[in-house]
Amino acid sequence: MSEKVSVSGGCHCGAVRFTAVSDPNPEVWDCNCSICSKTAYVHLFIPHDDFVLIAAPDAQARYRFGKKEAEHLFCRTCGIKCFYQPRSHPDDWSVNLRCLDDAEVLAPKIVPFDGKNWEKAAEGRI
């Protein structure tokens, strides 16, 4: 197994900032569900213990839809969703790969995920 690497990121305005450690060659999901496709979200799953929110947890608004199992978090100022609690990975945060400052330290394998048919797709992936 490769040694983990440190990454950092946040929202557009800087009110939400985080650090994390990741596998240098992570599998990331490119989901086609209604919210991910509209926001170009690419899921990098980070265990809760490997993620640290370093700026303004109160700067985020929460949103739930559908089955209301996932907790979507958005910056109250700029509206960017840089991470959230997915229903697919209850012990991980889903970090938007596009919100990393230093994504070039990773060599991700992008895997399509059929979020339009979430339950069926999740059966084979989770």
Number of domains observed in the structure of the chain = 1
Three-state DSSP state, 44: strand
- The answer on pLDDT for 126 being more than 60 is no
Q: For residue 91, count CB atoms less than 10 angstroms from its CB and return exposed for 0-12, middle for 13-18, buried for 19 or more.
A: exposed
pTM score of the predicted model: 0.89
Task: Give the residue among 60, 65, 64 at the shortest CA–CA distance from 76.
Answer: 60
1 pLDDT band, cuts 50/70/90, is low
63 pLDDT band, cuts 50/70/90, is confident
Range of the domain at 55: 5-125
Three-state DSSP state, 124: helix
Query: How wide is the angle at C-alpha 107 spanned by C-alphas 54 and 89, nearest 5°?
Result: 55
* CATH number of the domain to which 61 belongs: 2.170.150.70
